[in-house]
Amino acid sequence: MKGIIASGFGGLAAAFGSAVCCSGPLVLASLGLSGAALSAWRPYRPIFVVVAVGLLWLAFRMQAGSHSESCEAVVEGEEGSTGGACSCADPARIRRTHAALILITALSFLLLISPRWVPLVL
């Protein structure tokens, strides 16, 4: 589960990096500061977008894979006997992880499309 959330936050960080190049100078200029240095990141925006989408896709794939492996019966060493033990993932934890990924994806989407909506707000 830690890898899923780490991948999701990596996607969010990459989306933030793509937003900084385009919206950052506009926000800083509205505050009376110079944002010229942030516009140097503009050529790298497509790379940030691809990394963000890729990491979010990876996070959702990892979480989908954890559903299929969530409950496997443990077979004892004796002939024909199966153990009652089951290594199940907590369903509430799976739901929380999925909700966190959806929230991270929504925030990433807002950051990725920020060059479109930030000029309308400021």
31-62 residue pLDDT tens: 776 666 667 777 888 888 888 889 889 888 88
pLDDT for residue 24 is more than 50: yes
Mean pLDDT of 80-99: 68
Q: Burial level of 106, CB count in 10 A (0-12/13-18/19+)?
A: exposed
**What is the Cα–Cα distance from 100 to 6, expressed in whole angstroms?**
11
Higher pLDDT, 95 or 30: 95
Q: What percent of the chain has pLDDT over 90?
A: 2
pLDDT(63) > 70: yes
- If one counts every other C-beta atom within 10 angstroms of the C-beta of residue 9, the result is 15
Q: SS3 of 109, please?
A: helix
So what's the pLDDT on residue 102?
92
